[in-house]
């Protein structure tokens, strides 16, 4: 875990939904569905930040979990045609990179697009990644949830049956995470339990690093990938704001 942005720099790139129209620069944004930001509708809400760039709907469209267009530009490409924009976070948070722990796992099973595990939390807008065992190396986007199940955007190519260690990759703007205990050889990471963690953080970015290539994790670019466990280097990490601090308590 390491600090990536302090109070002097709190601008992050997040997916934007304008309901088929532009949103004016300077608009206050709030969470929509699946970690996608939308404009304030006049009600009090969990305010996220102020829009810094115009989301030109005629050029970028809206960020949609059920659509086909990627939210974020691929490595080395221009981001002009992608429906994510710079947003300045409105709280006095420090942003930290925290790796997802590939050794702290859950053991779900799947049947077509249904992933089952008792007490699994709702991580609609997140991902699941099969770390090892049967079906290792698969990642899929989570499009819905109900009691004890998650709905995957597509069925895994190889189904798993409760014996394949798997991690949860949380949705953008998710406000709870399992923070693993530190040790002499391991820093704080994001672990996976079926139930929600009790670490009061909020995720503002998700990344996948494949053989040194770092990309923003995108449901349309990375959902459904296979063979990731065979890579020489694979990491997942999030950028999180730390919500409960000695200087800004919420408990």
**Residue range 56-81, pLDDT digits in tens:** 999 999 999 887 889 998 877 778 88
Domain-located, residue 21: yes
Angle at 229 (CA atoms; ends 228, 232), nearest 5 degrees: 90
Percent of the chain with pLDDT over 90: 72
In three-state secondary structure terms, 213 is strand
Whole-angstrom Cα distance, residue 172 to residue 204?
6
Interval 115-144 mean pLDDT: 97
Residues 84/72, Cβ–Cβ less than 8 Å: yes
In a shared domain, residues 17 and 122: no
Domain boundary residue, one of 72, 91, 110: 91
Total domains in the fold of the chain: 2
Shared-domain flag, residues 17 and 134: no
Q: Write down the H helix ranges in the chain.
A: 57-60, 219-222
- Residues 113 and 55 placed together within one structural domain of the fold: no
Residue 250 placed within a domain: no
Would you say residue 47 lies in a domain? yes
- Decide which of 63, 91, 119 is a domain's last residue: 91
Do residues 80 and 164 share a domain?
A: no
Model confidence band, residue 243 (pLDDT cutoffs 50, 70, 90): confident
Residues 87 and 101 both lie in one domain: no
Whether this model's pTM surpasses 0.95: no
Beta strands in 108-242 (DSSP E): 109-111, 114-116, 127-130, 139-146, 149-152, 166-169, 178-179, 190-191, 201-210, 213-216, 234-242
**Domain range for 213:** 97-242
pLDDT at residue 246 in the model: 83
Residues 71 and 126 in one domain: no
End-of-domain residue from the set 49, 65, 91: 91
| Tens-place pLDDT, residues 47-57 | 899 999 888 99
Backbone angles phi, psi at 229, to 5 degrees: -70, -15
Mean pLDDT over residues 37-53, rounded? 82
Residues 65 and 130 in one domain: no
Predicted confidence at residue 113, as pLDDT, reads: 98
- 3 found inside a domain: no
Same domain? 74 vs 184: no
- Dihedral Cα 103, 183, 4, 30, nearest 10 deg: 60
133: how many CB neighbours lie within 10 A of its CB? 16
The verdict on 166 and 227 lying in the same domain is yes
């Amino acid at each position: 875990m390491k600090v990536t942005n302090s109070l002097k720099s709190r601008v992050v790139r997040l997916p934007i939904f304008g309901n088929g129209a532009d949103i004016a620069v300077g608009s206050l944004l709030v969470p929509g569905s699946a970690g996608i930001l939308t404009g304030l509708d006049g009600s009090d809400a969990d305010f996220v930040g102020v829009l810094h760039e115009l989301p030109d709907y005629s050029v970028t469209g809206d960020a949609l979990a059920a659509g086909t267009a990627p939210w974020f530009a691929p490595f080395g490409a221009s981001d002009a045609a992608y429906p994510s924009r710079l947003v300045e976070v409105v709280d006095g948070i420090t942003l930290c990179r925290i790796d997802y722990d590939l050794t702290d796992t859950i053991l779900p099973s799947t049947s077509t697009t249904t992933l089952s595990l008792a007490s699994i939390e709702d991580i609609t807008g997140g991902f699941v990644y099969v770390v090892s065992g049967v079906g290792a190396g698969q990642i899929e986007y989570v499009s819905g949830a109900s009691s004890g199940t998650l709905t995957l955007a597509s069925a895994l190519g190889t189904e798993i049956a409760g014996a394949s260690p798997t991690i949860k990759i949380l949705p953008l703007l998710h406000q709870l995470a399992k923070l693993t205990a530190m040790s002499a050889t391991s820093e704080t990471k994001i672990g996976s339990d079926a139930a929600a963690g009790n670490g009061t953080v909020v995720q503002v970015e998700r990344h996948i690093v494949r053989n040194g290539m770092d990309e923003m994790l995108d449901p349309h670019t990375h959902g459904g990938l296979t063979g990731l466990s065979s890579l020489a280097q694979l990491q997942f990490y999030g950028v999180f704001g730390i919500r409960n601090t000695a200087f800004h308590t919420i408990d």
